A and B are shown apart, each in its own frame.
Chain A
Amino acid sequence: MAEYELDCLGEACPIPLVKTENKLKELEIGDTLIVIIDHSCALKNVPEWARKHKHEVEVEEIGDGEYEIFIDKTA
């Protein structure tokens, strides 16, 4: 049940998504990945991709234009 952070601040599409995909491969089932982004299109495609792969996703706005995407690896 470990928790990992992925800092994608200042990075544009599709880098946050590709980094998320790669990082999630290294995690165990039950682990949580927190992706920190400030790019609005990653706010759409990262949760979309994670939900499509049956992971639990929650998004939190932590500041103006900054978000944390919580992904629980379930599969």
Chain B
Amino acid sequence: MKLSSNKHFQAWFKSPWTYVTGAILLSIFQIVTIASTGSSWGVTGPFATWGAWVYQAFGGSVDHWYFFSTESGQASLQRTFFTDPASVRNLGVIIGALLATLLASQFKFKKIKNMRQVAAAIVGGLLMGYGARIAFGCNIGALYSGIANLSVSGWVFALFMFAGAYVGSKLLVRYFMV
């Protein structure tokens, strides 16, 4: 019998897990994250830190930037990639995703369909990255961790994210369905 047709292999590695399984695992790992690192799960925070490290490596100084003026902001500048839990976790997310897709034999280099896709990816990525930093979080740090910490800000973020997703999907159907 081929491994790929084994029902346990199918259930664990091949088929997507249910949303409920995902939700339970995310909750457990959020608890592990807070317990082991002292702060909630966030993804985009390290992007700004990485930017600052690169800027500093070229002789720049971000010491007086408002963004890094908090105690935790200053502390993040003192760390390195492998002593910064959030940076290591981001690397782990990428390695984990790669492992999952390889185990399911679904790895594939996807071809670029048209230049519009490229433009949308670049513009969308920049807007999302910039937005996540001025909002002090993305859908993980501000939304998921915000709500998990019983903060009202997480719900406010959710409200505006839905509004943004609504407008975004209208634009997508308008410009990308040709």
Contacts and interface: CB of A to CB of B under 8 A. Distances in A.
A65 B108 contact: yes
B108 to A, nearest CB: 4
Interface string B87-123: 0000000000000010001111011110001000000
Given A9-B111, A15-B177, A64 B106 contact: yes
Contact of B16 (A9, A11, A40, A66): A40
A11 B178 CA distance: 12
A39 B105 CA distance: 13
A30 interface: no
A19 B177 contact: yes
Interface residues of B, number: 16
A10 B110 contact: yes
Contacts of B173: 18
Contact of B172 (A9, A15, A38, A44): A15
Grouping DSSP codes into helix (H, G, I), strand (E, B) and loop, the B interface class, with mixed when no group exceeds half, is: loop
Given A11-B113, A14-B169, A66 B108 contact: yes
Contacts of B112: 10
Contacts of B16: 40, 43-44
A65 B103 CA distance: 11
Most buried by A among B105, B108, B111: B108
Nearest to B113: A10
Contacts of A40: 16, 101, 106
Give the one of B16, B110, B169 with max A CB within 10 A: B110
